Each structure stands twice: as structure tokens, then as C-alpha cells.
Amino acid sequence: MRCLLSLLLLLIVACGGQPTTTTPSEDHASEEEALRRMKRPVEDLSQITTQEQYDDYIKRYWDDFDFSIGEDVDLYDESDLYAAFANYVMVIPPKSADSLLRSLMHRASSSREVLDFFMEMARDILYDPNAPTRNDEYYGMVLEAALESELLDEYDRIAPESDLHYVRQNRRGEPANDFTFSLPDGSQRRLHSIKADYTILMFNNPGCEMCRMIIDHIEQSEVINNLRKSHDIKIIAIYPDEDIEAWREYLSTMPKWWICGHDAEQRITTERSYDLKAIPSLYLLDSDKRVLIRDGVDVSLFEAALINLTTK
């Protein structure tokens, strides 16, 4: 499901419009059997040429969705609604995102079934590490609005409250959570004690193929290697789990200039200071350890950010 979702979203981004969807029995289904699709105010975004048209498009975006549908929400074409939501979060003005997403979730709170669907859809589109539309800030807005609903009891709130906790950690522009880690020689360091113009913080695991790919990409990066000649760039690779022997065996494969450590007391996990639901996880920090890129995996984004930061 996650891989198919990511592919769907990539197609939406690439095509700049709405995907064409079919019903499971398109050749033989009657109109009554066909899944419902939500009509957008404007099907072709190229038709929007003025600010007034754009504002009206955003205002009327969800008008064709029946928020009172309740348990029959599954009569809608799920892939079409996912595409609609993905498109919506890409086109709404960032300055108005909070009010727009809160309003949307309040409307979705018309029933538990619709609220659950929108919460799951928002999580997949805005919080899945593989989603090209991932936006933790927007997801936090959705969660805050959803948690205001009286439809959720104390048990229903556990999962979204956990997500909201992690969304609020290590936000862009704020100092990264500090922590102590152990070096291979047994000595200890703190993240904030390591001085550098820029720091790439990477959480990784031995045997993780994607971790290996990212490590190799960074090592072979002309951008990072060239910038190291003029700027103090450090990379800190942290193993957050408990198999220390596996980590020690893996150390021989790590670049010699990297700072490699492990969380000996598992405090990052127990204190929930970093969201490690998916590894690898990379952060770009400035000289004050403020977060510039949060929980990323695309090294090219780190390269682009470093170029932009060092050529101002």
C-alpha cells in the first residue's frame, strides 16, 4: 500500500493534475455500483489565471465531498480521494495552511468514520517517510485539529498524540534535541558539544541496505567533499539500538573521518527525543545545532542546501 501510494503521489506531482481512476468493474458496473469520485472546482489548474480564481478554487475545493456520508465513506474511490488530498496540500498557500487544514478536519469530524478516513489519509500523505508530499508541519496542524474532536476517546487519542509528540520534536529552525552518545573507545560526547559549521546527523543500523547506499552517496559526493575544504562539516552517525557487537563489527566499514557513536543507554528511544520509526534518518544542523533539514533521506537535498548556505 505504501509503495503504491508513493507511486500514485509521484504521478500526481509529475503530471500536475488529477490521475485518471477506474472502478474495479468498469466494463460491466452500473452507475449505482461505480465508486464515487469527488469533482474538483477546476479540473485543469492551467485555467486558473488570477488570484481571485485561485482563492475561489481553494475555498470551494471540498464542496463536492459529502462530509455527512458517515459509514458510507467507503463508497468513494479511495485513490481519487488520496489524489485530491495530496493535490490540496500542495496547492494551499502555506500562510493559510493552519486555518485551512483545521477547518477541513473540523468538517471531517461530522462522523467517526469520516474522521478516521481523513486522519489515516493525512498520515499516509503527510507523514509517511516515503511520501513525496511529506510535510510534518501540516501533519501537526491536522493532528491538533483532529484531537479537538469529541469523537475520540482516551484510547483513540493515543496514536495521534504519539505522532504529534514526534512532530513537535526537532522542528526546522529550532535547536536539535541534545543527547549523549558513546564512542568506540568508550568515551562519551554530547551532540551540542561538537563544533562545526554544519553537521549531518545520521541514525543508522548495521545491515541496513539503504543506510549503506546513503553512506556511499555522501562519501562520493563532490559537493560535500569540496565544501569540506572551506567549511568545517562533520558527520555524526548514531546507532540507536542495543546490539553493540553488531555495531562494533560494522564500524570497520564506516568512513574514517565520520564520528560514529551509539546510544548505550537507549535514551533517545526511551525519551522519544527523535522520531526513529524509519531508519536511516538524517538531519542537517547549523553551527548552533539548529535544524535545517529534518528527518530526510535524499542526499541531493542536503547537497543543495549546503550549496545554498555556503554561497550566500
Among 279, 273, 271, CA closest to 295: 279
- Alpha-carbon distance of 60 to 108, in angstroms, equals 15
* Confidence at residue 33, expressed as pLDDT on a 0 to 100 scale: 59
Q: What percent of the chain has pLDDT over 90?
A: 83
Q: C-alpha grid cell for residue 42?
A: 477546476
What mean pLDDT do residues 31-40 have? 80
pLDDT of residue 129: 83
pLDDT at 19 over 70: no
pLDDT band of residue 277 (cuts 50, 70, 90) is confident
Helix pair 78-91, 112-126: axis angle to 10 deg: 60
Mean pLDDT within 175-190? 96
Average pLDDT, the chain: 90
Record: fold of 180-310: Glutaredoxin (3.40.30)
Cβ atoms of residues 255 and 220 within 8 Å: no
Q: What is the C-alpha separation between 108 and 68, in angstroms, rounded?
A: 8
pLDDT of residue 12 exceeding 50 = no
Per residue in 223-269, pLDDT (tens digit) is 999 999 999 999 999 999 999 999 999 999 999 999 999 998 899 99
- 65-85 pLDDT, tens digit each: 999 999 999 999 999 999 999
User: Which residues of the chain are in CATH 3.40.30.10 domains?
Assistant: 180-310
The sign of the CA dihedral 23, 64, 97, 109 is negative
pLDDT at residue 15 greater than cutoff 80: no
The pLDDT value given to residue 32: 45
pLDDT on residue 104: 98
Per-residue confidence at 171, pLDDT binned at 50, 70, 90? very high
